[in-house]
Amino acid sequence: MNTMKQLRFGFITLVLAALVTGCGTSVKRVDVNEAIDLSGEWNDTDSRLVSEEMIRDVLSRSWLPNYRTANGNALPAVIVGEIRNKSHEHINLQTFVSDMERELINSGEVEFVASKNERGQIRAERKDQDIHASDTTRNEMGQEVGADFMLQGSINTIIDQEDKTAVKYYQVDLTLISMADNRKVWVGQKKIKKVVKKNALRF
């Protein structure tokens, strides 16, 4: 093999090696609580921090001791209702709802009842037990705990953009409503503002 062919072969080898290296996948494990913003959109950190702060706020307000005083120190039963996404982007609301449910349950300040979808599965299982389970292990119909309060809300966004820079403003509004008389016993709001710079013009 002459010198020219050797150089050509070496060049091709280097190019192929670079292509193979460039196509590889790199993975780095990080702490789940570490804040990582890649796109500037709503992410797991936003969901966790908003749910923690808002649930901490709702549990510190007067509706809770007022209810317990009026009901022999009993814990109120709470359910999360509809959380609407009115933002410009896709947001996994189930993750946000799960974060709020976790904070409420782990607080020990309230009881928590199953959601509408979860109740459907539980009722189907209870109906199956009514036919197939023994008397000592069967869970009867009509023994459910009804919710005393429902938590509802929405996530909104405002985007202010100039060239390749945008300010993304998120506003989360939550309302706790009494199931007995539709009174709003708590209204909470959390705001997040992010400055995002991208090479592309579109956000």
pLDDT value of residue 145: 87
Is 60 exceeded by the pLDDT of residue 20?
no
pLDDT value of residue 1: 54
Q: Which residue from 107, 79, 87, 15 is spatially nearest to 47, judged by alpha carbons?
A: 87
Is 80 exceeded by the pLDDT of residue 19?
no
State both tokens at 51. Answer: 């749910």
Residue 8 confidence class, pLDDT cut points 50, 70, 90: low
pLDDT value of residue 188: 96
> Residue 120: exposed, middle, or buried by beta-carbon count in 10 A (0-12, 13-18, 19+)?
exposed
Rounded to 5°, angle at Cα 25 from 23 and 26: 135
Second-level CATH architecture of 39-197: 3-Layer(aba) Sandwich (3.40)
C-alpha distances out from residue 152 to 91, 117, 148, 155, 194, Å: 16, 16, 13, 11, 25
Candidate from 17-21, 23-27, 158-162 with smallest mean pLDDT: 17-21
Over the stretch 78-133, which tens digit does the pLDDT of each residue have?
999 999 999 988 888 989 999 999 999 999 999 989 888 888 898 899 999 989 98
Residue 25 confidence class, pLDDT cut points 50, 70, 90: confident
Is 70 exceeded by the pLDDT of residue 34?
no
pLDDT value of residue 75: 96
More confident residue, 46 or 184: 184
pLDDT value of residue 91: 87
Is 70 exceeded by the pLDDT of residue 24?
no
Is 70 exceeded by the pLDDT of residue 21?
no
pLDDT value of residue 179: 95
Over the stretch 57-70, which tens digit does the pLDDT of each residue have?
999 999 999 999 99
More confident residue, 29 or 188: 188
Over the stretch 127-176, which tens digit does the pLDDT of each residue have?
999 899 898 998 988 888 899 999 999 999 988 877 788 888 999 999 99
Residue 151's DSSP bridge partners are 80, 176
* The residue to which tokens 């998120």 are assigned: 170
